[in-house]
Structure 1
Amino acid sequence: MPRGATSAERGAAPGPDRRGASTDAPATASLALPAPDVAAALGTREGGLTEREAGARLASIGRNELPPPRRRSGARRALAQVTHPMAILLWAAAGLSFASAMPQLGWAIVLVVVVNGAVGAWQEHRGDRALAALEALMPRRARVLRGGGPREVAAAEVVPGDVLVLAEGDRVVADARIVQATLLRLDVSLLTGESLPVDRDALPCLAPRAVADASCAAPAGATVVTGRARAVVFATGPRTELGRIARLATATRRAPSTLELQVARIVRTVTALAVGMGVAVFALLHVFGAPLWESLLFAIGIIVANVPEGLLPAITITLAANVQRMARRHALVSRLSAVETLGAVDVICTDKTGTLTENALSVERVWTPGPAGRGGPAGSDGPADAGAAGRRLLAAAALANDAHVGPTGGSADPIDRALLAAAAAARLEPAALRRACPRLAEAPFDARRRRMSVVVRAGPPLAATTAGPVAIVKGAPLAVLERCTRVADGAGVRAMDDAGRAEVLEVHDALAARGLRLVAVAIREDGGALAGRDADAVERDLTLLGLVALADPPRAGVGAALAACARAGVRVTIVTGDHGLTARAVAEAVGLWTAGWRVVDGSALEALAEPALEALLEASAGLVFARVTPEQKLRLVRAYQRLGHVVAVTGDGVNDAPALHAANVGVAMGRAGTDVARAAADVVLLDDDFSTIVAAVEGGRTTFANVRKFLAYVLTSNVPEIAPFLAMVVLHVPPALGILQILAIDLGTDMLPALALGAEPPEPGLMAGPPRARGRRVLDVQLLLRAYGWLGVVEAAACLAAFFAVWWRAGYGLGALQAVTPALLAHAAPAAVAATYREATSAALAAIVCCQVGNVLACRSERTSALRLARPGRLLAAGIAVEVALLLAIVYLPPLQAMFGTAPLPGAAWPWLLACAPATLLADEVGKGIVRGVSRLRRGRVPRRGPER
């Protein structure tokens, strides 16, 4: 299509109009003024400001820069990471440990807090970079007129009243009113989402809702595609459209992820439980006359046993492992907690261009008129299948074309590039065409004519009937058709009567209704007299060659990905800055559009009150929002969130940054996306493919399931860690575990198997059902009953049985053990008794670890029998091996024996200890069988109760 044509001029949906919406911003008043009056209104001259005037304005108004972000200092970030409830609890436990002369325990707890804090602070430091990326979009230099002459100045020193000198390839540094323009076209996609360059001129226009929509404005951040211009700056820095979006993005509070909320809830629950039990044990022992230091020791033991010290690092490392897995599937995650949130996503607000489509226009159909009365849409073919008439049409379109040959030619107009590619597909070499038919004259595209024309020397590719020059006219179909008096059909040339004109319009309407962009091509063969005449005289009595329909094709595999979303219960809403017809055509092409879907224009969206908008979102089968502004896209995200949905938003431009930042999960494009979008997002698609989003959702669901798996595994061992201290209070016996032995389990033997559970592959059927309810907790009653009420009790029984078995074998019954307990607690027991105690605690420790081996195999699935699952992977097998190896090292290596208070176990004890693993696995199978049976009974009762409400 000729340069400067909007999509309306190409016959598709309406292009950017000069909206009449008013604005209160006084700076935009210059938009409605005639070009000669603009300079005076903005306090400048045609030759620009003087250096003194520019300096004074710079001092008064400020630099042309976006304001720096308000971010927490590194010290405040670090402080926040080590002062949350669980950290405070661990700090208190560490302090009590130092006060109780247990420095090893104190330093171990401090290390846990510091590592957790460092990981959290690092993640926060990576997170909020949107404003820095916006600043990077601002060019460093700009050409302005100062004192009547051109000068190049730093972009930050441009002030209102400066006259910008713009040329092809320049990026606009400030919002400016155009006062002179020649064939000017701007790429404003970063601000509006419009997929094609738009025309800009110096004619006055009414102030629109956004400066980027004004046809006489050059907004900051736009790029000059073609032409040249002069423009007077009326807004700089934070007062520009780019600055407004920056404020919107940074003022938008990021929604916390579901995992962040749930981990905070787990921390509060565990903290309250640990403190409550610790205080209760301390008070109970003190009431019964125990010494103060002894009561304090046991209270610390209860607190340490209740706090899963490895929980936060395990969650962090598990999320990081899933991030690596997703990166292999071309999804790069910048915020770890977003991985889990993806699993709860039930609404995806996706843009069209580049996500659902290839973001590359291509010629889809070539229509040439047939013999009178036999035309119609069925006569359309692709460029590779074009007949002689179609090849002639494509040859003419390639000659009336300002794109350079090759994929990286000088013209950025995507339609001109697509026409050249179509000619090549039809076996027409553009360079050879131009040599055979050199251009003699041209009338560039004009927005009022909506046409361009060239005069070329006739040659064989055009199959001209005359040896003289030939005029080729290309433009919007209706604008070309009004100048046509003849039609070139398969039999020759015939007059265009009313029936012929109606035939062309029928084809036009049928193709335009599919959202295709249309170009009409016509010729005139009048000999050499054409070369010296003006455009109006040349563009008369034309012969229509046909129409070319262009489309941005859907990405390969996007249809299957959308079908997967439907099966998974994830609703997809298209939100685009492009036109409604084009967006609908894409929705139809990818199989998304079905009965009940509707298109809502941005202006209609603007008119909806919040209750009406929420009703629309809930009641509609499917929605396409077209021509939306950044504020409207942000409004949609918030409306969905108010309705209880977990929202993922895709985007690639500056205009998408506020919505990306506010969404539960922001998804930016890695290839075509801007730095702004990538910095505001949580996930970056390295291949810009919607299918990757579906893979990311599956990864999120897998992460949620895996977090529950390792939570069940880690929390189960809390019960046998608490049981020794409860037995101590109830039975008046020494604790079956030392505090450092508890830490050896939580931070040593349990850690790698827990991480292996976090890296488990997805279970079959994970994407065959709806996402989990937003309110479903990672740590719910079902998981607590399994960990604390069943498997934990089994492990606690094994732990205490092993402990008492060692004493019984040594000849100590309950009474005898109670008799030596005071001496053991005071560290004054005879050496033989102390040795037996160390052996007994070693047996209790070994029993718990062996039970955890069976537990880790049981926790691979919440419902499915472990016997039906695939064999454990290498990581899980390695975790079990390391778990057993660490146990043996703690029990048999003298340095570790001294640290953890253990002693070697006799060989006869190991068969009984190793039996703990299958016993725990068997107990879990019994529990799963009970749960499955209860579920079947409930399902069986539903029909008798009637339908659920």
Structure 2
Amino acid sequence: MSDTGTQPTTGESGPQSTEQTRDGRPDGRDASWHARPVDDVFQALDSAEGGLSADDAASRLDADGPNEITSSEGRSPLWVFLSQFSSALIWVLFGAAALSVAIGHTVDAVLIGIILLGNGVFGFVQEYRAEQSLEALRELATPEVVVRRDGTEQTVEATALVPGDVVVLQQGDVVPADCRVVESQSLEVDEAALTGESMPVEKSVEPVAEETPLAERTSVLYKGTSVTRGSAVAVVVETGMETEMGAIATELLSAEDSQTPLQRDLDTLGRRLGLGVVALSVVIVPVLSLGGTALVQAALTAISLAVAAIPEGLPAVVTLTLALGVRRMADENALVRTLPAVEGLGAVDVVCTDKTGTLTEGEMRLRAAWVYDEATDLGGEDRPASVEGERLRRLLEIGVLCNDATAEDGDPTERALVDGASQCGIDVEALREERPRTDEVPFSSERRRMATVHDDEVYVKGAPQVVLDRSTRVLTADGPTDLDDATRERIAEQVDSFAGDALRVLGFAYKERSDDGGPEENLVFVGLQGLIDPPRSAVRDAIADTHRAGIDVKMVTGDNAVTATAIAAEIGIESDVLTGTEVAEMDDKTLSERAEAVDVFARMEPTHKVRVLKALQGNGHSVAMTGDGVNDAPALKNADIGIAMGVRGTDVAKEASDIVLLDDNYATIRNAIRRGRTIFDNVWKFVGYLLSANAAEVLLVFIASLFGYLILPAVQLLWINLLTDGLPALALGADPSGDVMDREPRSGETGIIDRQMLTLIGGMGLVATALMLGLMTYALDGAPSTTDYAMTMVFTGFVALEFVKLYVVRWTRETPLLSNPWLAASVAASLALHLAILYTPLRQYFGTVALGVADWGLIAVMLAVGAPLLALVGWGVRRVDAA
């Protein structure tokens, strides 16, 4: 049915030059089909109402190509696997493995190779599984269309359409190309996937003004939209990549994938470590050689320093932690397509969200009713279980009887009337059986009303003013009363009040069949029903939580400004509104300023959304974009994190996204943000834990080498980095979240290596180095060279100190001491592994010896001294400003 919104201004313009370009796309085609009379359109396309000839269609198909949208191919399995090895840190590890092979330390190289392969396989499995899961969401079909050729109607594949073809469309058809309406009968089209408009749009033959926004071009049908009511004959004006859908696809192909903050941080870390390793090797070999150390021993020391400097376990721990986050998010209805997106979502400080189907339910619902002079709220949990009042019941009954829909099928507005009446206690089936329809006057976009004839009464519904103009009386508590001007004005004010609340308003009336006049004259006006696509029940709380987390939420929708503003206010977004037309008229500087201040953007077209997104990114924001329509895809692709809807979302939107919400619930985004922030916290903890160990290892090996000792050979360092440190670091990935949603978003400029991290690495690295040098000095006891006993003492002491440091690092992020049972298990496993290389034949591969009780007592004393020192460093870390 028609809503009460003002119809777009209509008008005519003369023939336009075919040299004109389309909204910034110099494709040589006419951009003003919506503004041209039908005769001019046929003339420009060299076509007629009878359609093209088969030969002409074939010739045009050869010239223009098939009516298809070109898209980038999905990533092959091989490419997904190879992409796991693209970071600088991974390449540094490859270099260390190659160097180990070159000097004959094959065991070291094998250990590094195993961890690299495991990292790659695990990342591949997670990302490829997400790709396959997304594939399962797609519904593949080859659409066909009825077309007039050689003067007859025939069915062809939609890919064979060409400009000038005349197509015949019925309710339920998908529009196969951009078309100019030639004939229409009660035509309504669902354009939500393209424009974001939540209501079906009435279409007609009449041209509209050339400057009319895309969402209000009522004379044109767009590829990929669907006919929800009526029928049409239309002439194809654009096909394939020249359609509005094609313009979106073109923009998608030009968009570049962006790195998440964690990816950028780890790449930077990898490059710096690589340079540091090279510098250490260049310095240490000649220094030791000049000091009299044999060249082979100097080379071994350089290898040990290189291994000490590189956190070999870090890529695997990061990958496994992100994979754990992926699994947990899948359990919470969020499908993650790429691992880094898990953490990236936790770094955003702006969420740009579509309205229809994302913030709202995506379905019309009966919200309010009015009978003279009494308004009733029929929305939400306060909806009455049964109708109170004879007039309200009559109003709802007319909505059911003057209606072609059921609760499951039909026009969305009519379904909402049936569903609303049913929820208010009206037995729809029994009512329709009791008062069967004997005749009807169907709805049309020109009449803007519908009438049904029953045994003794006629029921009418339609645009309020249309129904009111045909009414002579109004139903009051005392029965029908003559309609005077004052009453008509009060009804008009009520319509405006409902419309101001973003309700789609319909008027309802009846008459006795015995009354004078035609079936739609001398009506008794009964009242109004207001319908809306309501906000999801959990959205208001979810937005409040994201605001509390320091994240700005901006609604960016194709809907009109009134609807957008009303829905925004209802869910807790209070802001001025900016329209797509205003955005198009702004320069980049002005838009950057306005984008900061405004949180509601209405009537936004795809290019407008991308401009707003890039303005926010240009202001230094990390932006997540949510959406479900094809019109959202360019912004999803360009966003730092793109989030598509899995239920209502189009395939194009899903393919352009990083994350797909399987329940289309905005509350899932809040949960995902919490998960992402928790993951970053855990990544921060184990990066600090691992790098502080590497800093101590480098200092210890370097200082000892200056005195002629190779205190920790490469194989022992690898054991610490990959297993003894690696298992507890991995367990940190399961640490629970604390107050992560009570913090401001972390700055994208700071990175993971912030001031707190540097304090942690430096302080704990120095403490560990000093303690290990003391232990080494005691164990050597004046020995002229490094002994297996001294190496074993330092090796074991280092491992034991790492277990103490682990809990201090967690304390710096205010993580409860005993909140992670996996951590205790990992420490126990790591200790068991270490004991195995002390007291089993495995020690021959690591150059260790069995330690006695006295040795363990000495290590315990060292821990008693070290624990307070590490805690002091942790206290200092908590006092340091992360920025």
- In structure 2, distance between residues paired with 1:478 and 1:790: 76
Correspondence 1:635 to 2:611 = yes
How big is the shift at 1:172? 1.8
Aligned match of 1:910: 856
The structure 2 residue matched to 1:391, chosen from 369, 381, 393, is 393
- In structure 2, distance between residues paired with 1:792 and 1:863: 18
How big is the shift at 1:289? 4.4
- In structure 2, distance between residues paired with 1:269 and 1:887: 31
Aligned match of 2:582: 604
The structure 2 residue matched to 1:682, chosen from 648, 658, 664, is 658
Aligned match of 2:425: 427
- In structure 2, distance between residues paired with 1:130 and 1:232: 38
Work out whether residues 331 and 685 of structure 1, in 8 Å CA contact, stay in contact via their aligned partners in 2.
Answer: yes
Task: Give the residue type in structure 2 aligned to 1:580.
Answer: A
Aligned match of 1:588: 569
The structure 1 residue matched to 2:60, chosen from 43, 57, 62, is 57
- In structure 2, distance between residues paired with 1:879 and 1:423: 59
Aligned match of 2:25: none
Give SS of 1:850's match.
helix
- In structure 2, distance between residues paired with 1:18 and 1:752: 70
Give SS of 2:521's match.
coil
Aligned match of 1:862: 812
Task: Give the residue type in structure 2 aligned to 1:796.
Answer: T
- In structure 2, distance between residues paired with 1:296 and 1:82: 27
Work out whether residues 504 and 530 of structure 2, in 8 Å CA contact, stay in contact via their aligned partners in 1.
Answer: yes
How big is the shift at 1:655? 0.8
- In structure 2, distance between residues paired with 1:281 and 1:78: 37
Give SS of 2:227's match.
strand
Work out whether residues 19 and 208 of structure 1, in 8 Å CA contact, stay in contact via their aligned partners in 2.
Answer: no
Aligned match of 2:367: 364
How big is the shift at 1:84? 4.5
How big is the shift at 1:746? 0.9
Number of residue pairs matched? 869
Identify if the C-alpha distance between structure 1 residues 84 and 493 changes in structure 2 by more than 3 Å, giving closer, same or farther.
Answer: closer
Aligned match of 1:665: 641
Aligned match of 2:469: 482
The structure 2 residue matched to 1:298, chosen from 285, 293, 301, is 301
Identify if the C-alpha distance between structure 1 residues 930 and 159 changes in structure 2 by more than 3 Å, giving closer, same or farther.
Answer: closer
How big is the shift at 1:614? 1.6
How big is the shift at 1:74? 6.8
- Range that drifts further, 195-204 or 874-883: 195-204
Aligned match of 1:760: 735
Correspondence 1:701 to 2:682 = no
Give SS of 1:221's match.
coil
Correspondence 1:164 to 2:173 = no
Identify if the C-alpha distance between structure 1 residues 378 and 715 changes in structure 2 by more than 3 Å, giving closer, same or farther.
Answer: closer
Aligned match of 1:545: 526
Task: Give the residue type in structure 2 aligned to 1:309.
Answer: E
The structure 1 residue matched to 2:276, chosen from 261, 273, 281, is 273
Aligned match of 2:26: none
- In structure 1, distance between residues paired with 2:264 and 2:307: 23
Structure 1, residues 695-739: CA drift from partner, whole Å, max 9, x if none?
Answer: 222112212211111011111221342244323332122x11110
Aligned match of 1:829: none
Structure 2: 5+ residue stretches without partners: 23-28
Aligned match of 1:945: none
Task: Give the residue type in structure 2 aligned to 1:755.
Answer: L
Aligned match of 1:464: none
TM-score, normalized by length of structure 1?
0.86
Identify if the C-alpha distance between structure 1 residues 644 and 127 changes in structure 2 by more than 3 Å, giving closer, same or farther.
Answer: farther
Work out whether residues 69 and 131 of structure 1, in 8 Å CA contact, stay in contact via their aligned partners in 2.
Answer: no
Give SS of 1:882's match.
helix
Identify if the C-alpha distance between structure 1 residues 721 and 563 changes in structure 2 by more than 3 Å, giving closer, same or farther.
Answer: same
Structure 1, residues 445-474: CA drift from partner, whole Å, max 9, x if none?
Answer: 22233222222222xxxxxxxxxxx22221
Task: Give the residue type in structure 2 aligned to 1:489.
Answer: T
Give SS of 1:170's match.
coil
Aligned match of 1:841: 791
Work out whether residues 305 and 742 of structure 1, in 8 Å CA contact, stay in contact via their aligned partners in 2.
Answer: yes
How big is the shift at 1:64? 1.8
Correspondence 1:506 to 2:493 = yes
Aligned match of 1:897: 843
Aligned match of 1:24: 21
How big is the shift at 1:915? 5.0
Correspondence 1:692 to 2:668 = yes
Identify if the C-alpha distance between structure 1 residues 435 and 37 changes in structure 2 by more than 3 Å, giving closer, same or farther.
Answer: farther
Aligned match of 1:571: 552
Structure 1, residues 673-702: CA drift from partner, whole Å, max 9, x if none?
Answer: 222222222222222222222222211221
Structure 1, residues 179-213: CA drift from partner, whole Å, max 9, x if none?
Answer: 22222221111100111111123333445667664
- In structure 2, distance between residues paired with 1:233 and 1:737: 76
Give SS of 1:110's match.
helix
How big is the shift at 1:160? 2.3
The structure 1 residue matched to 2:455, chosen from 448, 457, 480, is 457
Identify if the C-alpha distance between structure 1 residues 581 and 209 changes in structure 2 by more than 3 Å, giving closer, same or farther.
Answer: closer
How big is the shift at 1:66? 1.9
- In structure 1, distance between residues paired with 2:832 and 2:874: 30
The structure 2 residue matched to 1:796, chosen from 758, 769, 777, is 769
Aligned match of 2:834: 887
Structure 1: 5+ residue stretches without partners: 459-469, 531-536, 822-836, 939-949
- In structure 2, distance between residues paired with 1:440 and 1:709: 74
The structure 2 residue matched to 1:233, chosen from 233, 236, 248, is 236
Aligned match of 1:88: 91
Give SS of 1:887's match.
helix
The structure 2 residue matched to 1:817, chosen from 780, 784, 799, is 784
Work out whether residues 168 and 228 of structure 1, in 8 Å CA contact, stay in contact via their aligned partners in 2.
Answer: yes
- In structure 1, distance between residues paired with 2:672 and 2:221: 38
| Identical-residue share of aligned pairs (%) | 37
How big is the shift at 1:557? 2.5
Correspondence 1:403 to 2:370 = no
How big is the shift at 1:163? 2.4
Identify if the C-alpha distance between structure 1 residues 714 and 928 changes in structure 2 by more than 3 Å, giving closer, same or farther.
Answer: closer
Give SS of 1:445's match.
coil
Task: Give the residue type in structure 2 aligned to 1:416.
Answer: E
Give SS of 1:886's match.
helix
Identify if the C-alpha distance between structure 1 residues 68 and 616 changes in structure 2 by more than 3 Å, giving closer, same or farther.
Answer: closer
- Range that drifts further, 258-267 or 145-154: 145-154
Work out whether residues 129 and 680 of structure 1, in 8 Å CA contact, stay in contact via their aligned partners in 2.
Answer: no
Aligned match of 1:623: 599
- In structure 1, distance between residues paired with 2:872 and 2:97: 40
Work out whether residues 166 and 229 of structure 1, in 8 Å CA contact, stay in contact via their aligned partners in 2.
Answer: yes
Task: Give the residue type in structure 1 aligned to 2:202.
Answer: D
How big is the shift at 1:769? 2.8
Aligned match of 2:536: 555
Identify if the C-alpha distance between structure 1 residues 457 and 28 changes in structure 2 by more than 3 Å, giving closer, same or farther.
Answer: farther
How big is the shift at 1:288? 3.2
TM-score, normalized by length of structure 2?
0.92
Identify if the C-alpha distance between structure 1 residues 235 and 138 changes in structure 2 by more than 3 Å, giving closer, same or farther.
Answer: farther
Identify if the C-alpha distance between structure 1 residues 130 and 450 changes in structure 2 by more than 3 Å, giving closer, same or farther.
Answer: farther
- In structure 2, distance between residues paired with 1:607 and 1:128: 39
Aligned match of 1:747: 722
Structure 1, residues 325-375: CA drift from partner, whole Å, max 9, x if none?
Answer: 2233322222221222222222111122222222222222221114xxxx6
Give SS of 2:442's match.
strand
Give SS of 2:453's match.
strand
Aligned match of 2:744: 770
Structure 1, residues 797-832: CA drift from partner, whole Å, max 9, x if none?
Answer: 343344444433xxxx1xx424xx6xxxxxxxxxxx
Identify if the C-alpha distance between structure 1 residues 303 and 655 changes in structure 2 by more than 3 Å, giving closer, same or farther.
Answer: same
Work out whether residues 448 and 463 of structure 2, in 8 Å CA contact, stay in contact via their aligned partners in 1.
Answer: yes
What is the root-mean-square deviation of aligned Cα atoms in Å?
A: 3.1
How big is the shift at 1:436? 2.5
Give SS of 2:237's match.
strand
Task: Give the residue type in structure 2 aligned to 1:887.
Answer: H
Aligned match of 2:712: 737
Correspondence 1:922 to 2:868 = yes
Identify if the C-alpha distance between structure 1 residues 924 and 897 changes in structure 2 by more than 3 Å, giving closer, same or farther.
Answer: same
Give SS of 2:576's match.
strand
Give SS of 1:860's match.
helix
How big is the shift at 1:132? 9.5
How big is the shift at 1:850? 0.7
Work out whether residues 18 and 208 of structure 1, in 8 Å CA contact, stay in contact via their aligned partners in 2.
Answer: no
Work out whether residues 138 and 155 of structure 1, in 8 Å CA contact, stay in contact via their aligned partners in 2.
Answer: no
- In structure 1, distance between residues paired with 2:11 and 2:330: 44
